[in-house]
A = this chain, B = another copy of it.
Amino acid sequence: MTAPIVILVEPQLAENIGMTARAMANFGLSELRLVAPKNGWPKKGVREAASGATHVLDGAKVYATLPEAIADLHAVFATTARERGQMKRVFAPEPAMAEVAGRIGGGERIGLMFGRERVGLTNDEVSLADAIVTFPVTEEFPSLNLAQAVLLMGYEWRRAAGLATLRFSGEMLSPPATREAMLSLFASLEATLERAGFYPPEKREIIARNMRDMLHRMSLTEQDVRTFRGALRALRPRGETD
**One of A65-73, A106-114, A141-149, A199-207 contacting the partner:** A141-149
* Bound complex: CA A39 to CA B230 (Å): 44
Tell me if B138 and A26 are in contact (CB < 8 A): yes
Q: How large is the interface on A (under 10, 10 to 19, 20 to 34, 35 or more residues)?
A: 35 or more
Tell me if A148 and B26 are in contact (CB < 8 A): yes
Chain B CB within 8 A of A180 CB: no
**One of A119-127, A157-165, A187-195, A232-240 contacting the partner:** A157-165
Specify which chain B residues have a CB less than 8 angstroms from the CB of A23 in the assembled complex: 145, 148
Question: A128-164 toward B: CB 8 Å interface, digit per residue (1/0)?
Answer: 0001101111111111110110011001001100011
**One of A4-12, A82-90, A97-105, A208-216 contacting the partner:** A82-90
Question: A42-72 toward B: CB 8 Å interface, digit per residue (1/0)?
Answer: 0000000001110000000000000000000
Give the nearest-CB partner of A140 in chain B.
B25
Specify which chain B residues have a CB less than 8 angstroms from the CB of A168 in the assembled complex: 82-83, 90, 134
Chain B CB within 8 A of A33 CB: no
Minimum C-beta distance from A159 to chain B (A): 7
Give the nearest-CB partner of A148 in chain B.
B151
Chain B CB within 8 A of A77 CB: no
Chain B CB within 8 A of A170 CB: yes
- Specify which of B90, B132, B145, B167 is in contact with A139 (CB 8 Å cutoff): B167
- Specify which of B81, B87, B152, B166 is in contact with A90 (CB 8 Å cutoff): B166
Give the nearest-CB partner of A219 in chain B.
B87
* Bound complex: CA A159 to CA B144 (Å): 16
Give the nearest-CB partner of A224 in chain B.
B87
Specify which chain B residues have a CB less than 8 angstroms from the CB of A165 in the assembled complex: 136
Chain A residues at the B interface, C-beta cutoff of 8 Å: 15, 19, 22-23, 25-28, 51-53, 81-83, 85, 87-92, 131-132, 134-145, 147-148, 151-152, 155, 158-159, 163-170, 172-174, 221, 224
15 more contacts with CB within 8 A, not counting A19-B148, A83-B167, are A22-B148, A23-B148, A25-B138, A26-B141, A26-B142, A52-B143, A53-B141, A87-B170, A87-B224, A134-B166, A136-B164, A136-B165, A148-B148, A148-B151, A152-B155
